[in-house]
Each structure stands twice: as structure tokens, then as C-alpha cells.
Amino acid sequence: MDRRKFFKVAGGISLFAAAALWARGMMGGGMMGGAGNGAGLKEAGASAKQTGGSPFFNPLKIPSQIEGELRDGVRHYDLRLQAGVSEFFPGVKTPTWGINGPYLGPTIRLRKGEEVSLDWHNSLKEAATMHGHGMHLPAKMDGNVHQLIPPGGSWSARYRVRQKACTNWYHPHTMDRTAEQVMLGLGGLIIIDDEESQSLGLPDRYGVDDLPVVVQDRLFTREGYFAYPRNMMTTMHGFSGDTLLVNGTIAPYKEVEAGLIRLRLLNASNARVYRFAVPGVPSRLIAVDNSFLESPVAVDSVLLSPAERAELVLDLRGMEGKVLRLRDLESGAGVLELRVRRNSAGPAKLPARLTRLERPDPSQAKRKRTFRLQAMGPGRLVINGKRMDPDRIDERVPLGETEIWEVENAGMGMGRMMGMNHNFHMHGSHFWVLERNGSSAQVRPWERGQKDTVFLAPGDRVSLLVRHTDYADKRNPYMFHCHILEHEDAGMMGQFTVV
Ligand code: C2O
Ligand code: CU
Ligand code: CU
């Protein structure tokens, strides 16, 4: 078995540090010629036998869930940013950051209608902000670049949950520092439940048939530290690693029941785009960024750019004993192994209808705005010719009015000599993807619900239907930006207020 192939993600940077770590921790140095560790070898031998020699040898970690604590009618969640040490490879210590733990953070469970307070405490030695990605909330609760939490400081995002059931997430949004803070491990899921989501009879046993799947790519040095090359290449193309992690687990497997299995996929990578698929398994898409789809849709694969989410339900009935893999078809890499065990205690079928989506009428749109995402030169990443300035408001969006936002990946300079991926994320509310490259038929199945992030391949144009409701604030802005975090940090971001 070629372990190196497993770790190396095609199209990634050719660095074999991860394979070397594997060799050191797991194989006693056999593969990389000698940097051995006998203790690791024994354990590895045993576990490889137990698992039938699969390269996926780590049980998938499931982030703990926190339900908060009700005090005076407000549900409080205690969240601490901290530095720690993770053991991704057996016996190898990697310094990492996390929330209430060494890497990533708990899944925050919110209920629609409740007043909540996410109480963030920063035990790091540097300032950070914590943003609720996909959350519909007042701008001053957004956790964007303006709500800085100093080292040792605290900040609370307090608001009423006023949106449909969906899978969102939290991550830092610190001016110029987002990419590295996320890379080090800050981030986690926010799951919103509502009456509808709880009455649909969907697989909902968290960690059993309702699985969080937070996908990231990382690079490791020979010592086991995260490697993050700070150079123009990283700025222009975004960071990509050669080792995949799911919920902070390298080479993960999960034992699942032979029933319906729901995957809550989040691309929490800085820049990599994935096309997720479980080849040979009937898969239906039930939810996208900010909502369910109206009905489940059969799909072969789902393309997710950074920060996008999708919920897939796999039908594993009758597949006891099978070993399946969630794969990334873009790189060819395996992401997560699913070992189908026993019969399911969960639901046997999906409802035909999931929700009713009320899209505003595009013909009522009051105005059009355009956003050109462009590289004006090395390291000069702009939207409409401008780099992010936290003191400048780029757009003022009237509350309650329907608008069309045209977003274009305009490439490099005046032409499109250099293809770069971008995506576009808007804070504060969701949008609807009306057209891709001038055609509504080109809107993909995973773009046919309430979205907050949309992918733009080189040259792509999308037209989005936008309407901001509930929260007007002349002073505190929301952001829009490319969610390739190195692009965001390099300035491909702007601000708008809802007025
Ligand atoms: Cu996920 Cu402005 O961020
Ligand atoms: Cu966001
Ligand atoms: Cu970009």
C-alpha cells in the first residue's frame, strides 16, 4: 500500500513531511529511510491489523456539542480561545489553537427563537475576533474585523436566533490575521434547529447518523509543526496543504449503521476547493449553507469552496460489511472511510418535502450592484479596484429592499491571463443564486437554497438576489469578501451597512 499517495493531495505542494511523520510515528521509519520510533511502530502494527490494513486508521473525532446554559431567559455559551497541543500523528505533538480544547471547537447548538449569548474569552497572546458565519444578526454582534477581543479579554455575541435551521460555523475574522488563525485551529460548527428540522424525521443522532464533517488541509514540518509558507505564492493561490483532516482527525474512519447517514459537510479549508462524493452510494442533497432545499435532490457530487456547507444523506441500507469512502474528486484523495456495520435504528426514508423557501421576486429588485474580484498585481487583491479599508463603507444597502448583486471573477489585470479561484461571501443574511454565467440552468443543485457563499471559477459571473431584513445600523458594517482566506487578508474584502 502506498501511504504516501494517500497523504499527498494531487495538485498540492510537494512536501512529504506528513509521510515522514507517519513514518516516524507509525512505521518505525521504514518508508522514509530511518527516522524511526519503535514505540509508535508496535502500536501501529496492532492497529493496522485490527483495521485490516486500511490507510484510514483513526476513529473520526466528533466535536462535543454545547447546548448552553439558560440564565434570565438568555442561553449562554462559554467559549474560550486557547493555545494547546494536538496529537495528529501518534507520539507527535503539534502546537495548535482551539476553542475549549486544543484544536477546533465544540458544535454550538442553537434553537430558533431563543435569545443567545456566545461568550467568547480570549486566552491567546494575540487579539482575535470571532464571527458567526451564516448568522443573521445585528452588525455589532457579527464578530467581524471591528469586534476585536484583546488578549485576556472577553466579548459576547448576543442576539435572538431568527433564521431557519441550518449548519453554520464560527471562525476568527481578525484584520490581516484570519488565514493563520484559522489554520492554527480556530473554528467550529453552529447548528441551528427549528420546529421544522425536528419534525422532519431526518437522521439526527449527532455523531451516529448525523455526522459533522469539517474538512481542512494542512502542511506539517518534519518536527510535526504546522507549516504555513508566508510568500507571494500563498497570497495569490491561497494556502493548501498535502494532508487532509476531518474534525481534526488525520486518516479518519467512522463505523456507521446500514441506514440513512447524514453528513454535514463544511469546507473549513483556507483555499482548497473540494468535490465531495461517495462513489457507488445513492446520495441526496438536503441542505445548503442557510437552509434545507425544498426537496431532497439526488446528486453524484457536491462542489464546495471555502466556507460553503452542504448536507448529504447517504443511503447505506443493505450495505452491511461494506467499506466506503467519502472522496474529493478534485484531487482524487480519500477524505473519510465509512465502515458499514449493523442495521440502522434510524429513519428508513427521507420526507419528499423538507421546507418551503420564500424567495423574493427578482422583478421587484430596486437596484443592481456589481462586485469585480480582481488581482491588480502581485499581492494586490481587490474588489471594484479597492482593497479593504475598515474605515470606509463601500455600500449602503436599504433595509428590506430587494437588490441584484452581480459578482464577477475578473481574473488578473485587464484580461484573464491568470486563472484564480475566488468565491464571494456576504455577511448579515443569505442570498439566492439567480444565474451563473447568464443562465439559471447553470445554477448548481447545491446553489438552489439560501446561500451565503458562492464559488467563482476563473471568468465566472453570478447574479445574486439579496435582501437584508431586521437589522439596520448606520454605523456598524457587515463585510463581503472572497473566502479564500489569504485573499481576504490581502484585501479582497469590503464593507456595507444596512440602512
Ligand atoms: Cu466566514 Cu466574513 O466570513
Ligand atoms: Cu461570514
Ligand atoms: Cu479570492
Q: Using one digit for the tens of pLDDT, what is the confidence trace for 86-113?
A: 999 999 999 999 999 999 999 999 999 9
In this prediction, residue 454 carries a pLDDT of 98
Mean pLDDT for the stretch of residues 214-235 = 96
In this prediction, residue 453 carries a pLDDT of 99
- Ligand 1 pocket: which residues have CB below 6 Å? 131, 133, 171, 173, 307, 425, 427, 479, 481, 483
Residues of the chain with pLDDT > 90, as a percent, come to: 86
Distance in Å, CA 374 to ligand 3 centroid: 8
Distance in Å, CA 133 to ligand 1 centroid: 5
Compute φ and ψ for 404, nearest 5 degrees.
Answer: -110, 130
Distance in Å, CA 421 to ligand 3 centroid: 6
Distance in Å, CA 480 to ligand 2 centroid: 8
In this prediction, residue 14 carries a pLDDT of 33
Would the pLDDT of 3 be above 90? no
Asked whether 102 and 153 are in contact (CB, 8 A), the reply is no
Q: Which residue has the higher pLDDT, 7 or 145?
A: 145
Ligand with an atom nearest the CA of residue 460: 3
Reading the block at residue 298, the C-alpha cell is 439526488
CATH 3.30.470.10 for the 65-186 domain, yes or no: no
Would the pLDDT of 2 be above 60? no
In this prediction, residue 6 carries a pLDDT of 34
Residues of the chain with pLDDT > 70, as a percent, come to: 88
pTM equals: 0.92
Atom 3 of ligand 1 has which residue's CA nearest to it?
A: 133
Residue 419: partners with Cβ closer than 8 Å, 6 or more residues away = 411, 457, 458, 459
Tell me the pLDDT band of 51, cut-offs 50, 70 and 90: very low
Distance in Å, CA 245 to ligand 1 centroid: 21
CATH 2.60.40.420 for the 362-498 domain, yes or no: yes
User: pLDDT for 129-188, tens place per residue?
Assistant: 999 999 999 999 999 999 999 999 999 999 999 999 999 999 999 999 999 999 999 999
Compute φ and ψ for 361, nearest 5 degrees.
Answer: -80, 120
In this prediction, residue 50 carries a pLDDT of 47
Tell me the pLDDT band of 52, cut-offs 50, 70 and 90: low
Tell me the pLDDT band of 419, cut-offs 50, 70 and 90: confident
Would the pLDDT of 479 be above 60? yes
144 CA: nearest ligand 1 atom: 2
Ligand with an atom nearest the CA of residue 383: 3
Would the pLDDT of 203 be above 60? yes
Which CATH topology does 3-46+202-343 take? Answer: Immunoglobulin-like (2.60.40)
Mean pLDDT for the stretch of residues 273-286 = 97
* Least confident span in 56-70, 253-267, 406-420, 468-482: 406-420
* Least confident span in 286-295, 413-422, 451-460: 413-422
Domain with CATH 2.60.40.420 in the chain: 3-46+202-343, 65-186, 362-498
First and final CA of the chain: distance in angstroms? 60
Atom 1 of ligand 1 has which residue's CA nearest to it?
A: 133
Distance in Å, CA 304 to ligand 3 centroid: 14
In this prediction, residue 17 carries a pLDDT of 53
3-state secondary structure the chain: CCHHHHHCCCCCCCCCHHHHHHHHHHHCCCCCCCCCCHHHHHHHHHHHHHCCCCCCCEECCCCCEECCEEECCEEEEEEEEEEEEEEEECCEEEEEEEECCCCECCEEEEECCCEEEEEEEECCCCCECEEEECCCCCHHHCCCCCCCECCCCEEEEEEECCCCCEEEEEEECCCCCHHHHHHCCCCEEEEEECHHHHHCCCCCCECCCEEEEEEEEECECCCCCECCCCCHHHHHHCCCCCEEEECCEECEEEEEEECEEEEEEEECCCCCCEEEECCCCCEEEEEECCEEEEEEEECCCEEECCCCEEEEEEECCCCCCCEEEEEECCCCCEEEEEEEEEECCCCCCCCCCCCCCCCCCHHHCCEEEEEEEEEEECCEEEECCECCCCCCCCEEECCCCEEEEEEEEEEECCCCCCCCCEEEEECCCCEEEEEECCEHHHCCHHHCCCECEEEECCCCEEEEEEECCCCCEEEEEEEEECCCHHHHHCCCEEEEEEC
479 CA: nearest ligand 1 atom: 2
Tell me the pLDDT band of 49, cut-offs 50, 70 and 90: very low
Mean pLDDT for the stretch of residues 282-300 = 98
Q: How many CA atoms lie within 13 A of 192 on its CB side?
A: 29
Ligand with an atom nearest the CA of residue 456: 3
In this prediction, residue 343 carries a pLDDT of 87
Would the pLDDT of 384 be above 90? yes
Would the pLDDT of 21 be above 50? yes
480 CA: nearest ligand 1 atom: 2
Distance in Å, CA 33 to ligand 1 centroid: 43
* Least confident span in 9-13, 65-69, 255-259, 368-372: 9-13
Mean pLDDT for the stretch of residues 33-44 = 25
Compute φ and ψ for 18, nearest 5 degrees.
Answer: -60, -45
Ligand with an atom nearest the CA of residue 458: 3
481 CA: nearest ligand 1 atom: 2
Mean pLDDT for the stretch of residues 301-329 = 97
